[in-house]
Amino acid sequence: MVAEDGRDRPVRTCVGCRSRAVQSDLVRLVAEGTAITPDTRGRCPGRGAYLHHDRRCFELAERRRVWSRAFRARNEETPTGWDVSRVAALFDDIPSDRTRRDPDRVGMSGPTSRL
């Protein structure tokens, strides 16, 4: 597939919002048993699912219960459900990291913003 900017880059679908995006803009997730873990380097074996690095997409994926479909797992294989704690931790880090780096810039849209 070709990205919208005309370059030949891989395009994947976010399992949360179902929109298509360039693969580099998404986080790859892999299932290790019943635990879903972020594959930040994109090198883990097995089937991967892609998700925007956005809490809203994660919440949509949780609400829609996409994990069994995304990883093509039967209900018998995951009787207790999916452990998404590692993925949730990935999104818990987002706001705290931004405020620690530069608390004066929280909520500003860009480098040209003025107080």
Asked, for residue 1, whether it belongs to a domain, the answer is: no
Is the model's pTM score more than 0.85? Answer: no
- For the chain, 115 residues long, the average pLDDT of each consecutive 10-residue run is 71 98 96 94 94 96 95 70 93 54 42 46
The total domain count for the chain is 1
Asked, for residue 23, whether it belongs to a domain, the answer is: yes
Helix 55-64 vs helix 85-101: crossing angle, to nearest 10: 160
Give pLDDT, residue 45. 94
Q: Is the CB of residue 106 less than 8 Å from the CB of residue 98? A: yes
Query: For residue 105, what is the DSSP state?
Result: G
> What CATH number is given to the structural domain containing 20?
3.30.1230.10
